[in-house]
């Protein structure tokens, strides 16, 4: 093995280890356990706000010389009236520490019940970079972006606690995208496109998989008709009328069949990247009067959490350097271009509205910049 290839192997091992550390931390958080997020000598005990219990908060208090506090995104702090700018995450403390009722109120806009006592006595400060990394970890786990944290004391840290570096959290999405590789492909005749195959991509840690639906025989020497489609369980599978996703998916495949070939990049980024459970929470808020963008902001997310580096990496692995991109969203055009894919043309992809998704489509146009 050459020195250069040996260095490449070592780098892949390091990247895989980093990805797995984040994956393990996410699993722990989702089941309500604490993890330790560290950067140099700084260490935080961290719990997912939506999975926390009073018992877990009390245990954290025993393992720290600091009362637990909650960290929320700037978006969530702003809608709570605790901050003016959505750009800066906030740490929220209270004398005696944060309790379960206050945590639930601050983290989840869908929680019923009155405002907890003592809410107005909270102290708000800017979150540190380490605390912001904790919020990124929540987003990677498709959890509400709010965390209960406390400084860790080395002498009382549980020996078996999962540890993860803040830098690995911050770089996770890029590392996972660049580590994508083809793991399987098969011929899958479709109703309107019999000459179709599905190609599966998986990152080095065995994490979230993305799919390419390849219609017809691709000629990489010409720009390939391509659609980036984020998975939508409710629209794609159930035929939900709240969005236009199902129509866009099936319409794209049908158009590619008529054109002779094309690729749908089916990304595992449900609900604009917030996950299915949070999308359902957003639906609940929409039924209470918020539009699709404001519902995401109420939950503490940005209006769109998706990343498109995985799409560019998939096209690279498929040997496709140039595309005709089937989209109404200029952001996708810019993202692919930044990641080295040449977008020759934006192909509009519009379908009739219905009484259930008219507001959704209007918000995409007026707030999301979609072209209709």
For 155, half-sphere exposure in the C-beta direction (CA atoms, 13 angstrom radius) is 3
Q: What is the DSSP letter of 169?
A: H
Alpha helices, DSSP H, located in the chain: 3-30, 54-62, 74-79, 100-107, 129-140, 166-170, 172-178, 245-259, 270-273, 276-287, 292-299, 309-317, 330-338, 358-366
- Is 192:215 a contact under the CB 8 Å cutoff? no
Q: In what order do the strands lie in the sheet with 224-230?
A: 181-187, 196-202, 210-216, 261-267, 224-230, 322-326, 342-347
All residues at 6 or more sequence positions from 63 whose CB lies less than 8 Å from its CB, including other chains: 45, 150, 152, 153, 156, 157, 158
| Interstrand relation of 196-202 and 123-126 (parallel, antiparallel or unpaired) | unpaired
What order of strands is seen across the sheet that includes strand 123-126? 123-126, 90-93, 69-72, 146-151, 42-48, 35-39, 163-165
Q: Which residues are catalytic, by number?
A: 304, 306
Ramachandran quadrant class, 40 (left: phi over 0; alpha: psi -120 to 50; beta: rest): left
Distance CA 296, CA 16 (A): 31
Residue 137: both structure tokens together: 């970890």
CA pair distance 332, 91, nearest whole angstrom: 33
Estimate the crossing angle of helix 54-62 against helix 100-107, to 10 degrees.
110
Residues 11-40: b if buried by 16+ CB within 10 A, e if exposed: eeeebbebbbbbbebbebbeeebbbbbbbe
Sign of the Cα torsion 79, 82, 83, 88 reads negative
């Amino acid at each position: 093995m050459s020195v250069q290839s040996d260095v490449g192997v070592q780098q892949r091992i390091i990247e895989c280890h980093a990805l797995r550390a984040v994956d393990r931390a996410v699993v722990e958080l989702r089941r309500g356990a604490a993890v330790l997020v560290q950067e140099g000598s700084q260490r935080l005990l961290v719990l997912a706000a939506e999975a926390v219990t009073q018992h877990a908060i009390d245990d954290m208090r025993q393992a720290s010389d600091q009362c637990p506090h909650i960290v929320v995104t700037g978006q969530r702090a702003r809608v709570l009236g605790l901050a003016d700018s959505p750009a800066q995450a906030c740490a929220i403390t209270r004398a005696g520490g944060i309790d379960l009722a206050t945590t639930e109120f601050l983290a989840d806009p869908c929680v019923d019940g009155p405002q907890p006592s003592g809410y107005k006595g909270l102290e708000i400060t800017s979150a540190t970079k380490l605390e912001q990394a904790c919020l990124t970890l929540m987003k990677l786990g498709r959890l509400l972006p709010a965390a209960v944290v406390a400084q860790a004391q080395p002498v009382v840290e549980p020996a078996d606690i999962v540890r993860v570096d803040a830098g690995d959290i911050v770089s996770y999405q890029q590392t996972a995208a660049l580590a994508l590789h083809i793991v399987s492909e098969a011929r899958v005749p479709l109703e309107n496109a019999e000459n179709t195959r599905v190609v599966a991509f998986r990152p080095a840690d065995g994490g979230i998989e993305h799919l390419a639906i390849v219609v017809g025989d691709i000629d990489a020497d010409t720009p390939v008709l391509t659609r980036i489609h984020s998975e939508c369980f409710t629209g794609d599978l159930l035929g939900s009328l709240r969005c236009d996703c199902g129509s866009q998916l099936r319409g794209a495949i049908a158009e590619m069949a008529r054109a002779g070939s094309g690729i749908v990049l089916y990304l595992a980024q449900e609900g604009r990247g917030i996950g299915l459970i949070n999308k359902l929470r957003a639906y609940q808020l929409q039924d209470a009067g918020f539009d699709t963008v404001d519902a995401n902001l109420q939950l503490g997310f940005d209006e769109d959490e998706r990343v498109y580096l995985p799409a560019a990496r998939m096209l690279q692995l498929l040997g496709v350097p140039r595309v005709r991109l089937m989209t109404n969203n200029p952001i996708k055009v810019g993202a692919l271009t930044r990641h080295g894919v040449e977008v020759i043309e934006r192909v509009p992809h519009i379908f009739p509205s219905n009484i259930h998704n008219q507001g959704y489509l209007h918000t995409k146009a007026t707030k999301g910049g979609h072209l209709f």
